[in-house]
Amino acid sequence: MTATPRPGTPAAAFARPGPPLPGPARPALHLPPSEPAEKGRTDSNVRMAVTLEEAPWLGWIFVKALMRFAFMVSNNLVAIPSYLCYVIILQPLRLLDNKCFWYIEGIMYKWLLGMVASWGWYAGYTVMEWGEDVKAISKDEAVMLVNHQATGDVCTLMMCLQDKGRVVSEMMWLMDHIFRYTNFGIISLIHGDFFIRQGKSHRDQQLLLLKKHLENNYRSRNRKWIVLFPEGGFLRKRRETSQAFAKKNNLPFLQHVTLPRVGATKIILNALVAQQENGSPAGGDAAKLDSKSKGLQWIIDTTIAYPEAKPIDIQTWILGYRKPTVTHVHYRIFPIKDVPLETDDLSDWLYQRFVEKEDLLSHFYKTGAFPPPKGHKEANSREMTLSNVWIFLIQSFAFLSAYMWYSVLQYLYHCLF
């Protein structure tokens, strides 16, 4: 039999209603009342000790972030005005030799993007490349179709394309219109990038503006590559909507990417693919092709993967408070002749590409590596590197240029006033 605890005793407070349970009294009933409090104080002391141990490291991270932010601000204050001054001074060259003007502008544009890439490089945010080697087609016209997870995707591409010849110099970006109002917006406007406004109410108008923009600015400025994010937004913002749309329309259910939108891709292909009709090129700006140009030749399916599916945003890229990490970029190249141009077929083709991205990312998140191509036992990776000497030279040129333009403006001010 089991003894019934007297009312008012600690055991009675823990006694359950109903029939008594067989067996010895539970050990928890015999714990002294003061033990939970002592345990709480111990946990508090442990937490305080951990916090005190981490304090120097957190303090250093904070100081380093402030130093990086100060350098980034100074970098922008010298590099962007210097670029604008050079562009203004070179306007007569634009009238005399338009091709030469955009060649020089492209070099300065690449240097500016190289500076942005260096901010992440020195914070330990590096890139590992997988799949096919896009250097082999760096002189041809191509479109990059990239999955979109965070603002750091753009910075990652700025870094990994720096060693691909003149690709960055001759590249056109399609980006959200909000970037127009950033410090880099004026640079992108001059270079000829396109700012697209998201939303159903703007979609048709934006596609017409994109078509006109390509006709007026793509080949006239000697552009060869276009970067496009077909998902139309960040993964975390569009995933739920995309999955609901997929369920409603019996389309693939995707977790690591979203279903792409076909509008901008179709406009680009129709405008830039050199379709031969009666022996002459056709298709928007393709009519302006010179005898040496072959038009758009490649689609580069580009997949960006972050370890543990934790993307890097622009704030982290600038401040560098996240521990060093390697971003992985996978390339797959498709000849343009294998890409359908009709809307329905193109939609199916794009969906298939993003289903493949889903498989690539699923494999990466499970194994830490992309799967090998068919017929190979393992996938080969290439570590992308930036030259410290080159970064030092372009940074020095930016600061020296700013000093030169400041001296010139100061001299003109004294002469006039």
Q: With a threshold of 0.85, does the pTM exceed it? A: no
Q: Is the pLDDT of residue 138 over 70?
A: yes
**Residue of 398, 392, 317, 315 lying closest to 80 (CA atoms):** 398
Give the pLDDT confidence score for residue 109 in this predicted structure: 96
- Report which DSSP code applies to 385: -
User: What confidence tens digit (pLDDT) does each residue in 296-326 have?
Assistant: 999 999 999 999 999 999 889 999 989 999 9
* Distance, CA of 64 to CA of 66 (rounded, Å): 5
pLDDT above 70 for 49: no
Task: Tell me which residue has tokens 């950033």.
Answer: 182
Q: What pLDDT score does 376 carry?
A: 66
Task: Please tell me which residue, 25 or 369, carries the higher pLDDT value.
Answer: 369
Whose structure tokens read 């003894």? 3
Q: 203 exposed, middle or buried (CB, 10 Å; 0-12, 13-18, 19+)?
A: middle
Pairing assessment for the beta strands 296-305 and 325-335 based on DSSP bridges: antiparallel
Q: What is the pLDDT of residue 20?
A: 46
Query: Greater confidence, 222 or 22?
Result: 222
Q: 199 to each of 107, 215, 235, 261, how far by Cα in Å? A: 34, 24, 16, 12
How far apart are alpha carbons 289 and 140 in whole angstroms?
13
Look at 243-252, 263-272, 275-284 and tell me which has the smallest mean pLDDT: 275-284
Bridge-based pairing state of the strands 125-131 and 381-384: antiparallel
Nearest to 31 by CA among 15, 5, 10, 4: 10
The answer to whether 350 and 250 are in contact (CB under 8 A) is: no
Rounded Cα distance between 239 and 312, Å, is 18
Phi-psi region of 200 (alpha: psi -120 to 50; beta: other; left: phi over 0): alpha
pLDDT tens digits, residue range 67-95?
999 999 999 999 999 999 999 999 999 99
Query: Among 97-106, 298-307, 406-415, whose mean pLDDT is lowest?
Result: 406-415
Q: What is the pLDDT of residue 177?
A: 79
**Mean pLDDT estimate for the chain:** 83
**pLDDT exceeds cutoff 90 at 345:** yes
3-state helix, strand, coil in the chain (%, to 5): 55, 15, 30
Q: Mean pLDDT over residues 276-287, rounded?
A: 39
> What CA–CA distance (Å, rounded) separates 231 from 262?
9
Percent of the residues in the chain that have a pLDDT greater than 70, as a whole number = 81
Q: What is the mean pLDDT of residues 229-253?
A: 90
- Burial call 153-174: b when 16+ CB within 10 Å, e when fewer: bbbbbbbbbbbbebbbbbbbbb
DSSP-assigned letters across all residues of 175-223: EEGGGGGSTTHHHHHHHT-EEE--SHHHHHHHHHHHHHHHHHHTTTTT-
For the cut 80, the answer to whether the pLDDT of residue 287 exceeds it is no
Residue 333 has pLDDT above 70, yes or no: yes
Q: Is 384 helix (H, G, I), strand (E, B) or coil?
A: strand
Q: Where do the domains of the chain lie, and which CATH numbers do they carry?
A: 127-386 (3.40.1130)
